[in-house]
């Protein structure tokens, strides 16, 4: 684990199943909240089951998992 | 990875933040309110619940079954675990990484929400509630929740985490009532039924008393088995009653008491046999039946206690060898 990762102050964890229509907006709000708190943050989205529609996530990262510093 | 609890455990296990916020992906919770939850953590709380019932529930956001079921589950949880929460099923929460490590959650499904609060209470964590707004979800699909199935899973989990309420209280009451029913029957004259005022209580009540006593005893045994499991598997740190129980009720003492109960029961039943023989193998009066019920119950209790003494002795060794936290 690198030094920068150790500095993560807030993690936001969002469980998903079939919320492909809303997850984008939800992650966007989570991102805004993190920026508002002026913290380094992380958002993970563990997938309970394979989504029927590929997720289109804002921000960098592969499907379901991404991180801001 | 399958289930709400599994998904969260996987995600939280991978999270590295000092503070962790969780919430659903259906947009029913507004993550713009997350900073207020994190602010409470910074004030020193370990776990913060976003309370919909202390905040705002937008019309159409919560089904009527949940409006009834959520407060009901919350009331039961408050009663069993002495908390004062208003919304035990809220999906929007925040907690510290240190608190998460102390809760050691196991649930894979929706009951994860209740287990978190139960474990937080057991670990003595500081819990706060922050009012939040609950919105209609925008998925355009039916919700994941199944009110009856999920409600039952929450209730089952709460009872499992509360063996005193599940086993000890009903078991103790059954033993007391059973002994009372059998005991008062012994007050009646040998050749007459028991009369309480104008109420005739024949030996059938003693049979019911025996049934209650034996069943209640089994429940009490289940209580201690559940407690030992809970401590040895680190669901709880220690149990004062168990500590005292293992110190006082050693295997040797329980074996001695069980043998005494068996001998007393055999003595009572033997006397009835003797009396029957001396009466020329004829009809027995109701007093004989009552005595046989009482004596046979003592024998059954003694036999159970005799073998349980060995079982608890083995489990007691595992209990004493449990890893210290």
Distance from CA of A60 to the nearest CA of B (A): 17
Q: Is the pLDDT of residue A55 over 60?
A: no
Taken in order B239, B48, B61, A50, the sign of the CA dihedral is negative
Nearest CA in chain B to A16: B25
Question: What confidence tier does A52 reach under pLDDT thresholds 50, 70, 90?
Answer: very low
pLDDT at B316: 82
Nearest CA in chain B to A13: B22
Check if B27 contacts A (Cβ < 8 Å).
Answer: yes
A13, A36, A48 ranked by CB distance to B2: nearest: A48
CB contact set of B223 (below 8 Å; sequence gap of 6+): B163, B164, B166, B167, B168, B171
Reading the block at residue B19, the tokens are 């503070």
> A68, A31 in Cβ contact below 8 A?
yes
Distance from CA of A3 to the nearest CA of B (A): 12
Tens digit of each residue's pLDDT (9 = 90 or more) over B114-132: 999 999 998 999 999 999 9
Mutate which: B12, B25, B33, vs A, most A CBs within 10 A: B25
Query: Range with the lowest mean pLDDT among B17-21, B93-97, B140-144, B244-248?
Result: B140-144
How large is the average pLDDT for residues B207-230?
93
The pTM for the full model equals 0.76
Angle at A44 between CA A43 and CA A45, to 5 degrees: 125
Q: Report helix, strand or coil for B16.
A: coil
How large is the average pLDDT for residues B32-50?
96
Check if B18 contacts A (Cβ < 8 Å).
Answer: yes
Instruction: Determine whether the interchain pair B19/A5 forms a contact, defined as Cβ–Cβ distance below 8 Å.
Output: no
Distance from CA of B7 to the nearest CA of A (A): 6
Q: Is the pLDDT of residue B264 over 90?
A: yes
pLDDT at A59: 45
Q: Is the pLDDT of residue B160 over 70?
A: yes
Tens digit of each residue's pLDDT (9 = 90 or more) over A9-51: 899 999 887 787 888 889 889 888 988 887 766 666 555 544 4
Distance from CA of B63 to the nearest CA of A (A): 19
Q: Is the pLDDT of residue A69 over 60?
A: no
How does the average pLDDT of chain B come out, rounded? 91
pLDDT at A65: 38
Q: Which residue is associated with the tokens 């007459």? A: B192
Q: DSSP class of residue B233?
A: T
Cα Rg for chain A, rounded, in angstroms? 12
Chain B residues 36-95 with a CB less than 8 Å from chain A: 38
Enumerate chain A positions whose Cβ falls within 8 A of a Cβ in B: 1, 5-6, 8-19, 21-23, 25-26, 29-30, 32-33, 36-37, 39, 41-42, 44-49
Pairwise pLDDT comparison (A57 vs A61), residue with the higher score: A57
Residues of chain A contacting residue B140, judged by C-beta atoms under 8 Å apart: 21
Q: Is the pLDDT of residue B104 over 70?
A: yes
Distances (CA, A) of B173 to A3, B2, B158, B245, B303: 59, 41, 21, 19, 21
Distance from CA of A15 to the nearest CA of B (A): 6
The 3 state secondary structure assigned to B122-144 is: HCCCCEEEEEEEECCCCCCCCCC
Instruction: Determine whether the interchain pair B23/A14 forms a contact, defined as Cβ–Cβ distance below 8 Å.
Output: yes
Q: Which of B227, B239, B235 is nearest to B106 (CA)?
A: B235
Q: Is the pLDDT of residue B325 over 70?
A: no
pLDDT at A5: 47
Nearest CA in chain A to B138: A22
Question: What confidence tier does B230 reach under pLDDT thresholds 50, 70, 90?
Answer: confident
Query: Range with the lowest mean pLDDT among A10-14, B147-151, B251-255?
Result: B147-151
Question: What confidence tier does B15 reach under pLDDT thresholds 50, 70, 90?
Answer: confident
d(CA B170, CA B216): 7
Q: Which residue is associated with the tokens 């119950």? A: B297
Tens digit of each residue's pLDDT (9 = 90 or more) over B268-310: 999 999 999 998 998 888 899 999 999 999 999 999 999 999 9
Angle at A46 between CA B128 and CA B42, to 5 degrees: 25
The percent of residues in chain B predicted with pLDDT above 90, rounded, is 63
Pairwise pLDDT comparison (A41 vs B247), residue with the higher score: B247
b vs e for B174-198, b when ≥16 Cβ sit within 10 Å of the residue's Cβ? Answer: bbeebbebbebbeebeeeebbeeee
Distance from CA of B122 to the nearest CA of A (A): 24
Q: Which of A5, A60, A3 is nearest to A31 (CA)?
A: A60
Taken in order B307, B293, B291, B216, the sign of the CA dihedral is positive
Instruction: Determine whether the interchain pair B25/A6 forms a contact, defined as Cβ–Cβ distance below 8 Å.
Output: no
């Amino acid at each position: 684990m690198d030094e920068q990762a150790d500095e993560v102050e807030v993690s936001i964890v969002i469980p998903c199943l079939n919320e492909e229509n809303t997850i984008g907006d939800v992650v966007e709000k989570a991102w805004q909240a993190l920026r508002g708190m002026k913290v380094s943050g992380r958002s993970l989205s563990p997938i309970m089951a394979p989504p029927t529609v590929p997720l289109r996530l804002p921000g960098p990262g592969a499907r379901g998992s991404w991180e801001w510093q | 990875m399958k289930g709400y609890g599994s998904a969260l455990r996987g995600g939280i296990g991978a999270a590295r933040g000092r503070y962790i916020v969780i919430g659903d992906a259906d947009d029913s919770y507004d993550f713009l309110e997350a900073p207020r939850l994190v602010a409470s953590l910074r004030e020193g709380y370990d776990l913060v619940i976003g309370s919909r019932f202390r905040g705002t529930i937008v019309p159409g956001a919560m089904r009527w079954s949940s409006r009834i079921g959520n407060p009901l589950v919350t009331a039961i949880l408050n009663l069993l675990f002495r908390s004062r929460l208003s919304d035990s099923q809220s999906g929007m929460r925040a907690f510290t990484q240190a608190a998460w490590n102390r809760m050691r959650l196991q649930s894979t499904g929706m009951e994860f929400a209740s287990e978190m609060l139960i474990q937080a209470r057991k670990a003595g964590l500081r819990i706060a509630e922050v009012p939040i707004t609950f919105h209609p979800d925008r998925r355009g699909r039916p919700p994941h929740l199944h009110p009856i199935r999920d409600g039952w899973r929450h209730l089952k989990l709460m009872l499992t985490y509360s063996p005193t309420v599940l086993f000890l209280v009903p078991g103790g009451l059954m033993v007391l009532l059973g002994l009372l029913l059998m005991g008062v029957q012994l007050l009646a004259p040998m050749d007459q039924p028991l009369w309480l005022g104008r109420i005739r209580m024949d030996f059938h009540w003693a049979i019911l008393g025996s049934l209650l006593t034996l069943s209640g005893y089994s429940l009490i045994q289940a209580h201690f088995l559940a407690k030992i499991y809970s401590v040895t598997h680190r669901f709880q740190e220690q149990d004062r009653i168990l500590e005292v129980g293992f110190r006082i009720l050693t295997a040797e003492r329980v074996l001695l008491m069980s043998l005494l109960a068996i001998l007393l029961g055999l003595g009572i039943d033997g006397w009835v046999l003797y009396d029957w023989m001396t009466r020329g193998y004829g009809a027995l009066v109701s007093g004989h039946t009552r005595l046989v019920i009482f004596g046979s119950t003592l024998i059954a209790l003694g036999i159970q206690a005799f073998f349980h003494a060995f079982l608890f002795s083995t489990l007691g060794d595992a209990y004493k060898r449990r890893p210290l936290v």
